[in-house]
Chains A and B, each alone.
Chain A
Amino acid sequence: MIEIETLSVRFGGIKPIDQLTAMLSAPVSGLIGPNGAGKTTLLNVLSGFVRPVEGAIRLDGRSLLPLSPLQRVRAGLRRSFQTEQVVEDLTARDNLAALADNVAAVGERSRTTDRALDFVGLGSVAHRLGARLNLFERRLVELGKCLIGTPRLILLDEPAAGLTDEEGARLRDLVLAIPDAFGAQVIVIDHDVELIRAMCAETLVLDYGKRLALGRTETVLADPDVRRAYLGEL
């Protein structure tokens, strides 16, 4: 469970996140909002790259803000990036092992790496170089990296960008299986409302750094304010 309390971020005169309070407890939650709504900033605050001017964040009751980005990773925070960040001259397996090196105990590294590889279905291309992986495989490597060690909160930033419908559906099934298989909570950021609708039980909508709506995805997406701000309906 992630609790955000009166969180504010300031860049000069701009407040990309303004007095945000929200609690996300669904196994897979969505985070949506128009461009500039503060989604990526919120992600960066959660992973520790941006320091808020005020507020608090708790992950399963543990305060997150005092921790450095590295400490957060060790505490079970995982994230993927909007543009995939697979290293070209490492194999698919080594891309995952690079994370296991730093977050898993010595005896556990090989096991957690293979488990994540198998889960995302990359076992057959484990020894293929990153440069030779197709986009879908790269997205799966990114997802696999989030499953190394003992993940507690996984932040996926547009995990399905650039994928075909079929690939997107496969990715969606994988993400939905994560909470049960790994005991981690997942937050998905995406522009694709259909993807969010299919994946997330609960959704937070941001607009101008403020909370526009929060609740069951169906209810939130039917909200007239959300439809006006985000879906472009009058």
Chain B
Amino acid sequence: MNTQRTLVPAAVPLAPEATVRKPRPLLAVALAMAIFSAAIALLANAFWLSALTSAMALSLSVAGVAVLYGQLGLVSLCQFALVGVGGWVTLRIGHGLQPPFEVSLLAGGVVAALLGLLFGVPALRLRGLYLALVTLMLAGAFQIVISAWGFPDGGPGFLGRADGVGRSMLARPALATEAVPYFLYCAVIATLGLMLVQAHKITRPGRAWALIRKGETVAIASGVNVLAYKAWAFALSGFLAGIAGGLLAGNVGQLEGRAFSAFESLNLFALATVGGAFHWYGAVIAGLLLRALPALLTDLGIDGYVTIGIFGVALFHALATAPTGIAGKIASLLERVSRGAER
């Protein structure tokens, strides 16, 4: 035990470097997102602004899927259902109690987190194909529930359905009622969400998740509480999906049940892999693919359904040749450039 004291001085030179390293990835997220959002806010017209607002919101839900897939190696195919849950709760609270938008949004996030946790229960026993199947069934169950219930639109009762008479729209947050401010509002929240995920990745939860992905035996032998860290990942993923749903609800003021089919959850997962589940900007890329690419095709006068074909090819490409997705390609390109610059 005496040796512990004598060996300590040698360890000192390492510590400062380690502490300096941590905040940088977070700063990079904030900086990149600020430049990207500012450019869009200055350049985009009303049509594009709406599409890109949705893209920003959805990038949050993709970030949630990426936590489960990229960090834990778990395939969850019910993420879009959780987006729907967040949207439903945000609308319900918003219409029922008329609190500030942020309160409804947070409620949506929290309820989706709890449900995400519940949806994650099978993952404590299942993984791989079986977990994928079970979560896909949950997405299917949500599809049935939401097509029967519909989204609240200002009516009375638990379901809040106005049934054609006096449908009302959810008011946007007080400080961002117009299109451009609301886009920036979503961009700020998306940035905060992405930074939250990034902060998890580079600290204690990220290390624990990495060990669980390596193998549960290894994780337990390293003192990791596997159950708690898995549960936390599902709750975080659900929270991000719920916030995404709330932001979507705020974008147009209402949501459409048909937009929340199980297929959308599949699509979201597929594009999370195409965008890249291992880098934070993979989520932004996936968000753009989900909402900006269809908008682009519409702008060019091409049928929006063509995107499904494009996504199929992109997914095949990602699975066959680029498992780290577009973001992974960008990351290795950046690394090569920076190495070249060093020389």
Contacts and interface: CB of A to CB of B under 8 A. Distances in A.
Given A115-B4, A115-B11, A117-B14, A98 B211 contact: yes
A222 interface: no
A81 B218 CA distance: 8
Contacts of B224: 98, 102
A145 interface: yes
Interface in B214-255: 214-215, 217-218, 220-225
B300 interface: no
Contact of B21 (A69, A127, A180): A127
A47 B219 CA distance: 12
B221 A98 contact: no
Given A115-B8, A118-B7, A123 B207 contact: no
SS class, residues of chain B in contact with chain A: helix
A54 to B, nearest CB: 24
Nearest to B14: A114
A110 B208 contact: no
Interface in A51-109: 69-70, 73-74, 78-79, 81, 85, 87, 89-90, 93-94, 97-99, 101-103
Given A101-B208, A127-B21, A74 B223 contact: yes
Contacts of A145: 222
Given A102-B225, A111-B11, A115-B4, A70 B17 contact: no
Contacts, number: 83
Interface residues on A, range: 35 or more
Contacts of B332: none
B256 to A, nearest CB: 39
Contacts of A36: none
B329 interface: no
A110 B15 contact: yes
Interface in A126-144: 126-127
A151 B287 CA distance: 47
Interface in A118-174: 118-119, 123, 126-127, 145
Contact of A70 (B10, B204, B215, B220): B220
A119 B10 CA distance: 10
